[in-house]
Structure 1
Amino acid sequence: MYREWAAEAERAIVTRHLRRVWLLPGTILGRSGWPPTPDQRVHWHWNYWWQAHLLDCLVDAQHRDPTPARDAVIGRFSSSVRLRNFGKWTNDYYDDMAWLGLALQRAGRDVEPILAELRSAWTPDGGGGIWWRKGDRFKNAPSNGPAAILHARVGETERARELFSWLDSTLVDPDTGLVWDGLRVDDHELVKAIYTYCQGVFLGAALELSEVDAAARTVRAVAAHCAPGGVLRGQGGGDGGLFAGILARYLALAAQRLTGPEADAARTLVLDSARACREHAAEALGGPLFPSEWSQPAPDEHSRDLSVQVGAWLLFEAAATLA
C-alpha cells in the first residue's frame, strides 16, 4: 500500500511539475507551482533547496523501484540544478547547500564544492556551529543539522560531532526535548520557534552519530508536541511545505535504527501520517494532489506549491521503507 502511494506521488509530481529549463534539451527541474504562473513556467522562480528535496525523492524512488529511465532523470536533474544556479553548486545559504549536498551525495555525485563551503562556515562564535547564511550572525538548526548529517555520511565524523554537540547543548529545550530554531550570536538571543524540520535534522544527526539517547528523546518530544491526533502537523506553504516531510524521513530512519517504544512510536507517526495524507488528497492531473495539513482535505491555499507536494512525496517514500 505505502509503496503504491509513493509511486502515485511520484507520477503526480513528475506529471505536473517536471519540465525542461529554459526549453533546453536534456534539462529538467521542478516548476515551483501548479498550475504554473508565467514566471514558474520558465523556472524564473528559483527555489534551490526545494529542488534538493525533489532530487532526494527521485533517489528514494530509485531505491524503491530501480529503472534506467529514472536513473537518467536523476543525472539530468542534478546537472540542471547547476545550470539553473548559473553554473555553480553553491549559494549564500548554508542550509540550502547542506540539503543539496545530501541529495547529490545519495545520487552518487561529487559534493566536495559544497563540503568546502560548509567547512568554512564553522566559527567559535556562539559556542561553535555554522552560520545560517553568509554575512549573517545567526546560527540555527536548519543549517547545522543537515550539515552534521552530510559530514557524518562522508566520514568527517569529528566535524559532524562538533555540530551535533553545539545543537544538543545550545538549542534543545530542557523541558520538552524539542529543538529550537537558532541563536542570534551577538546578543545571545535564543529563537525558540518550533519547526518540525528542526526536530527532523537533529534526529537525523543523532542517528548518523549513534547518539541513541538523544534520538529517542527527540522521537518522544515529537510524539508529544508535533503530532496532534497522531499526524505530523503541517506548517503552511512556501518553505514550510517541506518541514513535516523532512521530519518523516528521519522518523523512518529512527524506526529502523532504534529499538523499543521509540522505534514503535516513530513508525506509527510515519504510517499514520501517510494514511491521513492519502485519505485527504484530491484528484488532479497525473494523480493525487496533497494538502499542506495532512489531517485536512486538499486542495487548500498551499496545495499548488511544489514544496507541499514534495513534502508529501517525502512522507510516502519514508512510509514505503517501513512497509
Structure 2
Amino acid sequence: MDGAERAAVAERAVRVRHLRPVWGVPGTVLGRSGWPPSFDQRLHWHWNYWWQAHLLDCLVDAQVRDPRKDRAKVIARFVKSVRFRNFGKWTNIYYDDVAWLGLALQRVRALELADVDEAIAAIDEQLHEGWTDDAGGGIWWRRGDQFKNAPANGPAAIFHAREGDATRAAEMTNWLTRTLKDPETGLVWDGLRVDTGELVKNIFTYCQGVYLGACLEQSDVDNAASTIDAVAEHLAPGGIIRGQNGGDGGLFGAILARYLALAAKQLTGPAAERAKHLVLTSADACWGGATTTLTGPLFSAEWAAPAPEDPPESGAPERDLSVQTGAWLLLEAAATLG
C-alpha cells in the first residue's frame, strides 16, 4: 500500500469514528474529542478548538491528495460549524489556537472551498493585536497572560507570511531565533515568562515544527537545516519522531512532520534528505503499529510502539481525537513525499 492509500485509510477511520453533527443540528459537523465517546464528547461539550483546526487541515490535505465533491461539502460545513460551536465567533483568547485555525482557513481559501475572508480577517486582526514590544517583541500565548511562546509565535509567523505581511512574519521569526533557540542543542524552547524573565526550557516537538515552518517562509535555510539536524539528533530515536502522550500532545509530533515534509520539498541536500527520512520512517512505524478495528486502523500515541486493542481502555491516549488526527496528518505528510 503506497502513501496515498495509507492516508486515505486513515482519513476514513477518523471520519467514521469522530465526525458528527454538532448538537444534532443538520448541516453541521465537527470532530468528537474521543472514541468511544463519553457523554460530554457526544455533546461536543469540550470541543478542543485547536484540535478541530488540525482536523480541518487534514481534510484539506485529503482534498489536495484526492479532490472530491463530497469532501468539499464536508469542509464547507466544518468551517461553518466552527463558528457555530464557538457561539458566533471565529476566535478565542488563545493566540496559538487562533493562528492554527487561520492556517487551515488560508488553505480552504486557496482551494475555494468556502468563503472564509471574514474569518481570516478576524484572525489577522487578533494576531496583530497580540504583538507587544515586551521582551523584545513576539505575541502572547493568550490574552491577559505574561507568557510568550513558540506555539503561538511560530504559526502566527507562518500565517502572516502567507497573508503577505513579510515584516511581521520576519519580526516573529527573528524573535524566536533570538529568544528561544538553544545555542547548544539547536532546539527551540517552549517560551518566556515576561514578568519574571524566566525561560521555560521544555522541549516539545511541535515547537520545532512551527519554528521550522517560519524559517521556511523566510527562506532561512541555515536555521531550517540546523533545526532538522537537532530534531534528528534529539527527538527522533531510530528516525521515528517521538510521541508526547495524548491530549494536546497527541498532535505535537504530527505538526513537526507537516513542516519536515515541506522542508523536504523546499530545501536541497542533506537537510532535505534528513527531513524526508524522518517523515517516512515515522509514517512506516505509525502504520505498522496500528491496531486493526472494525472502523479502520487505530493508531498509537507513540509511533514506535503498538496501539492497544479495540476499543482502547478508558484513559488511553489512543481514544483522543488529537492522537488519531495526528497520525492521519503524518500519513498525509508522508503521502506528499511519494
**For 1:287 and 1:32, how far apart are their aligned partners in 2?**
17
1:162 aligns with 2:171: yes
Query: 278-287 or 57-66: which moved more?
Result: 278-287
- For residues 176-214 of structure 1, what are the alpha-carbon distances to aligned partners after superposition, in whole Å with 9 as ceiling and x for unaligned? 100000000011100000000000000000001111111
1:189 is aligned with what amino acid? E
Aligned to 1:304: 319
Q: How many residues align?
A: 323
The answer as to whether partners of 1:199 and 1:222 remain within 8 angstroms in 2 is yes
Counterpart check, 1:320 vs 2:335: yes
CA-to-partner distance for each residue in 1:218-237, whole Å, 9 max, x for gaps? 00000000101110000000
- The separation in 2 between residues aligned to 1:270 and 1:34, in whole angstroms, is 26
Pair 1:4-2:26 in alignment: no
1:243 aligned onto 2:252: yes
Kindly report which structure 2 residues correspond to 1:206-285, keeping only aligned pairs within 5 A, or say none.
Answer: 206-285=215-294
2:112 corresponding residue in structure 1: none
Amino acid at match of 1:136: D
Amino acid at match of 1:114: I
Amino acid at match of 1:27: T
2:244, 2:303 → 1: CA distance?
Answer: 10
Unaligned 5+ segments in structure 2 are 110-115
102-111 vs 116-125, which moves further = 102-111
The equivalences for 1:107-256 within 5 A come to 107-108=108-109, 109-110=116-117, 111-256=120-265
Assess if the C-alpha contact under 8 Å between 1:16 and 1:285 holds in 2.
no
Once residues 22 and 47 of structure 2 are traced to their aligned partners in structure 1, the CA distance between those partners, rounded to angstroms, is 11
The aligned amino acid for 1:18 is L
* Matched letter for residue 63 of structure 1: V
Question: After TM superposition, which residue ranges in structure 1, 4 or more long, deviate above 2 angstroms?
Answer: none
Rounded Cα–Cα distance in structure 2 between residues aligned with 1:67 and 1:286: 21
- Separation in 2, partners of 1:190, 1:44: 34
Check the 8 A contact 1:12/1:285 in 2, yes or no.
Answer: no
Instruction: Please state how far the C-alpha of 1:46 moved relative to its aligned partner.
Output: 1.5
Q: Which amino acid aligns with 1:17?
A: H
Measured in 2, the distance between the counterparts of 1:47 and 1:146 equals: 17
Q: Distance in 2 between matches of 1:272 and 1:82?
A: 37
Aligned counterparts of 1:257 and 1:266: Cα–Cα separation in 2: 11
> What's the CA shift for 1:285?
3.4
1:24-59, CA deviations, whole angstroms, 9 ceiling, x for partnerless residues? Answer: 000000000000000101111210000000000000
The CA deviation string for residues 51-82 of structure 1, in whole angstroms up to 9 with x for no partner, is: 00000000000000000110110000010011
Q: Tell me, in whole angstroms, the C-alpha distance in 2 between the residues paired with 1:46 and 1:251.
A: 28
Give matches, 1:9-88, under 5 Å: 9-88=10-89
CA RMSD of aligned residues (A): 0.6
**1:303 match: secondary structure:** helix
| In structure 2, distance between residues paired with 1:226 and 1:259 | 22
| Shift in Å, 1:130 | 0.2
- Aligned-pair identity (%): 68
Query: Is the 1:181–1:195 Cα contact (8 Å) retained in structure 2?
Result: yes
What CA distance in whole angstroms lies between the structure 2 residues aligned with 1:124 and 1:320?
Answer: 41
Distance 2:17 2:292 in 1: 12
Q: Is residue 94 from structure 1 mapped to residue 132 from structure 2 by the alignment?
A: no
TM superposition score normalised by structure 2 = 0.95
Contact 1:291 1:298 in 2 (8 A): yes
| CA displacement at 1:286 relative to structure 2 | 2.1
1:106-154 CA distance string (max 9 Å, x none): 1012201000000000000011000000000000000000000000001
> Which residue type is aligned with residue 268 of structure 1?
H
**Distance in 1 (alpha carbons) for counterparts of 2:163 and 2:127:** 13
